[in-house]
Amino acid sequence: MTAIPILMYHHVAPVPSGLRALRGLYVSPGAFSRQMRLLGWLGFRGLSMSDAMPYLRGEARGKVAVITFDDGYVDNLEHALPVLQRHGFSASCYAVSGALGDYNRWDEARTGVRAPIMTAMQLRAWRAAGMDVGAHTHSHVRLTQCDDAALQREVNDCRKALQDCTGSPVTQFCYPYGDHDDRVVASVREAGFSDATTTLRGRARAGGDPLRWPRVPISNRHLLAQVAVRLVSRYEDRHA
């Protein structure tokens, strides 16, 4: 069965001075550019989750890799978008609807750094550039710890807000912290999302569970050769 790596990124930016934790969430603009070039060399087309759906469903064949960004940082627009455009790739950004134009309130205390999140206008610019906008809840909570009412609000309100913001259907979801269980998955399905990504490791298999896609995390610790190994070998699948 075809293996489709779904790459997970957060920041594409230099590691900020004063960062106390979660260095792995940063990939430098230079490294990101080399990683996209690597995809091309290896014969992969980089696609957003929406564009990759026919491949993930097993309805289309081709060598594709999915590119995802969690949280919706401004640096995605500044540093990643021009690189993606240069390669003719698309990508998904999972936005936190209650945090647009704000910053990473959920992990600022831990990282010691305030990282700006795209405004509604910047998110529209990302979408207008042919990129996909997915949902990452309203306030970046751990969904398994929400009661039923809060869970529904986090999932449904986020979808509605992002659809209103972008003027397009939002069909893709990503669980904050990868935190999900059967109840959370059911609520995401009922809200109308077709796909959801987790932080489970491994390459996706065409025809797999569309609401529990595994991903391949890429961090600033990875040398280019290590990224290549994760794309083309069973390395990540063994970590699943």
What are φ and ψ of residue 109, in 5° steps? -65, -35
**Candidates 67-75, 118-126, 142-150, 181-189; binding stretch for Zn ion (CB under 5 A):** 67-75
- Residues 39-58 touching Zn ion, rule: CB under 5 A, are none
Q: How far is the CB of 178 from Zn ion (least distance, A)?
A: 9
Q: Of 95 and 185, which CB lies nearer to Zn ion in the complex structure? A: 95
190-216 CB burial, b ≥16 within 10 A, e <16: ebebbbbbbbebbbbbbebebbbbbbb
Q: Of 71 and 75, which CB lies nearer to Zn ion in the complex structure? A: 71
Asked if 154 interacts with Zn ion (CB under 5 A), we say no
50-73 CB burial, b ≥16 within 10 A, e <16: bbbbebbeeeeeeebbbbbbbbbb
**Candidates 63-71, 116-124, 160-168, 227-235; binding stretch for Zn ion (CB under 5 A):** 63-71
Rounded to whole angstroms, the Cα distance separating 87 from 44 reads 11
Question: Which of 217, 175, 182 shows the shortest CA–CA distance to 197?
Answer: 175
Comparing every residue's Cβ against Zn ion, the nearest one is 70
Interhelix angle 120-128/158-166, nearest 10 degrees? 70
Q: Of 55 and 73, which CB lies nearer to Zn ion in the complex structure? A: 73
Q: Of 70 and 132, which CB lies nearer to Zn ion in the complex structure? A: 70
Q: In DSSP terms, which residues pair with 6 in a beta bridge?
A: 66
- Residues 166-185 touching Zn ion, rule: CB under 5 A, are 176
- Site map (CB under 5 A) of Zn ion, residues 69-108, x = contact: -xx-------------------------------------
Q: Which residues bind Zn ion (CB under 5 A)?
A: 70-71, 176
